[in-house]
Amino acid sequence: MAEQLAKAENRSTEKTAPQTAVDMPLLRIERVTKRFGNFSAVNQLSLEIRAGEFFALLGPSGCGKTTLLRMLAGFETPDEGRILLGGRDIAQVMPHERPVNMMFQNYALFPHLSVHDNIAFGLRRAGMARAEIAARVAEMVALVKLDGLERRKPDQLSGGQRQRVALARSLARRPQVLLLDEPLAALDKKLRESTQGELMELQRRLGLTFIIVTHDQEEAMTMASRIGVMDAGRLAQVATPRDLYEAPASRWVAEFVGDVNLFEGQVISSEQGRLKVTTREAGIVTVAEPRQPVTKAIVTIAIRPEKIKLSRRGLASGADALQAINRFEGEVAEINYLGGLTAYRIRLDNGTMVRSVMANTARLDADGYGSSDRVAAWFAPDDGVVLEQ
């Protein structure tokens, strides 16, 4: 135990050099495991979250993200590990004794209580004075713009209004950490987008720590300052949205977040910051050498579809000619017009399918590619990511 602690200490000092009180993480999850029978829903997971962060737990269903959130709320007790909130281990503390509140996926509003009484519920339990409760409820109602609906029962509200009541109720006790379990899943697309903005604005204004669980990567990318991608009870990667997309840590993350072209192959040379890899799918590919030296002989090269550009065959301009490397001949197999973007599938001459996405920057595109057109697909060495796992 002491060893583990020391290790954890070391790790955190490595990351944030000057270890001051301000830099101390608000929440520290240390090697937490939760089993249901033989199945480990969360497996030896460690994570640190700083005060004021908007953190998203992203993952496919069944990856353990909801179990982790429920352990933070206190509805599940970890089988191993510690959960430190402000330095205090809360792993065994009952839900009602934690300075943490949760907004439930289905909102869980009390149907027999009015909007006002729903919001006041937690305040009454805290033994707050009557006048103080009235003031706090009024403040919350104004915060989530529910004025005039205080006397309504939950079944007299629209889906969006219920979502706001749930938010107001979970914020009323001023929790140190607010947990949000798929808070926008029940809203339609337009409402979801405007609510995303409101949640971010609210979080910034109140300076609270939000931890949101979602399976919607766009939602996580839009709102969170950092994202933890979970797979099979472990964190596959913790990074900012940009790093997650542009520098995925593994093949799995690259495929889970957004679309990607993957070429697997053997490293043949490494010189002048360029790595040459011979791949089965696309022949010899040249990419920028990653900062950490490559240790494995077999690697995967990941290239996002929008970084694969198309040109007409034989019409290579001067700029294209410079990029004679990473250039593959093929024909357009499939075109999907998506409004702002067009997604192409190119069948290379060796049979490999490659995805390319181009922005529709002009309304009339006389020069656009048609089905079965011969094209060259190419990408810059800097746009390929080398993955070792």
Residues near other proteins (CB under 8 A) are 73-75, 94-96, 101-102, 104-112, 121-122, 125-126, 154-155, 158-159, 162-163, 169-170, 173, 186
Q: Report the C-alpha gap between 135 and 141 in whole angstroms.
A: 10
* Torsion on CA atoms 252, 253, 257, 263, rounded to nearest 10: -60
Nearer residue to other proteins within complex by CB, 58 or 109: 109
Q: Report the C-alpha gap between 20 and 332 in whole angstroms.
A: 57
Helix (H) or strand (E) holding 193: helix 189-206
Asked if residues 120 and 109 have their Cβ atoms less than 8 Å apart, the reply is no
Minimum distance between the CB of residue 97 and other proteins, rounded to whole angstroms? 8
Minimum distance between the CB of residue 110 and other proteins, rounded to whole angstroms? 6
Q: Report the C-alpha gap between 166 and 128 in whole angstroms.
A: 20
Of 53, 54, 83, residue with least CA distance to 68 = 83
Structure tokens at 225: 């300052």
Nearer residue to other proteins within complex by CB, 176 or 250: 176
Nearer residue to other proteins within complex by CB, 163 or 356: 163
Minimum distance between the CB of residue 264 and other proteins, rounded to whole angstroms? 44
Nearer residue to other proteins within complex by CB, 113 or 232: 113
Nearer residue to other proteins within complex by CB, 41 or 308: 41
Minimum distance between the CB of residue 159 and other proteins, rounded to whole angstroms? 4
Residue type, 347: R
Of 294, 380, 375, 316, residue with least CA distance to 342 = 375
Residue type, 239: A
Asked if residues 160 and 196 have their Cβ atoms less than 8 Å apart, the reply is no
Asked if residues 216 and 59 have their Cβ atoms less than 8 Å apart, the reply is no
Minimum distance between the CB of residue 186 and other proteins, rounded to whole angstroms? 4
Nearer residue to other proteins within complex by CB, 53 or 182: 182
Nearer residue to other proteins within complex by CB, 27 or 260: 27
Look up tokens 């971010």; give the residue: 200
Minimum distance between the CB of residue 55 and other proteins, rounded to whole angstroms? 19
Minimum distance between the CB of residue 46 and other proteins, rounded to whole angstroms? 25
Residue type, 320: D
Pairing type for strands 353-359 and 341-348 reads antiparallel
DSSP states of 326-383: SEEEEEEEEEEE-SSEEEEEEEETTS-EEEEEEE--SSS-TT---TT-EEEEE--GGG
Minimum distance between the CB of residue 359 and other proteins, rounded to whole angstroms? 36
